[in-house]
Amino acid sequence: MKLRVLFSLLFVMAVAGCKAPQKPVINDDTIETSQVNGVTLTHRHAVTPPAEFTPVNEPYRAMYPASLMSRPDFGGKVIRTLDTGKTYVVLGQVEHYWMALADEGNEQLIGYVPMRAVIKADLYDAAVRKQAIRPKTRKKATCVDVDGNSKACKDSANGTWILN
């Protein structure tokens, strides 16, 4: 009987120092995987997986410093800002015509931008050139009536007045 009590006490003393395994701490930088429309996406915990996904997997360039969002709408958190002209990989198109982006050389989903914020890499140079070439606005001629039957107009190029 005494031996049974002694073994019980030894067992309790040995187990008392043990701790239960801790659950992993989940924060915004924890890497997760999600399955959407048969495609496996790897992303940080802070980035919400999309409800719909159409694969694209092509290089695109940023048209302006757009906000990279944590979900495909303007209600999410801003993760960072895109660098104008930098190449990103569009993993796919998601709901609300937003694009799921990854950094070049990496297949991890980093966030979402509106469709107009990026353009295919091979079309970028032409689009920038087209924006730079703006039609010149015609200057309006400044004319004044002189004596009721003639007119004097100012030449906008050199500032002289011409009588008609």
In tens, the pLDDT along 78-110 reads 999 999 999 999 999 999 999 999 999 999 999
Q: Examine the pLDDT at 35 and tell me if it is beyond 90.
A: yes
Average pLDDT of the chain, as a whole number:
89
Phi first, then psi: give them for residue 156, nearest 5 degrees: -70, -20
pLDDT at 70: 97
Phi first, then psi: give them for residue 15, nearest 5 degrees: -80, -20
What is the sign, positive or negative, of the torsion defined by CA atoms of 44, 46, 50, 55?
negative
What are the structure tokens assigned to 113, written together?
């931008």
Task: Give the integer Cα–Cα distance in Å for 29 and 89.
Answer: 20
Using the 8-state DSSP alphabet, how is residue 79 labeled? E
Burial pattern 143-154, b for ≥16 Cβ within 10 A else e, equals eeeeeeeeeeee
Task: Give the integer Cα–Cα distance in Å for 67 and 62.
Answer: 11
Mean pLDDT of the region 120-139: 82
DSSP E strands: which ranges in the chain? 31-36, 39-44, 53-62, 67-69, 78-81, 87-94, 98-103, 109-114, 118-120, 142-146, 150-154, 161-163
Q: Could you tell me the pLDDT band of residue 66, with boundaries at 50, 70 and 90? A: very high
Q: Is the pTM of this model over 0.75?
A: no
Q: Examine the pLDDT at 123 and tell me if it is beyond 80.
A: yes
Q: Could you tell me the pLDDT band of residue 137, with boundaries at 50, 70 and 90? A: low
Q: Examine the pLDDT at 140 and tell me if it is beyond 70.
A: no
Q: Could you tell me the pLDDT band of residue 153, with boundaries at 50, 70 and 90? A: confident
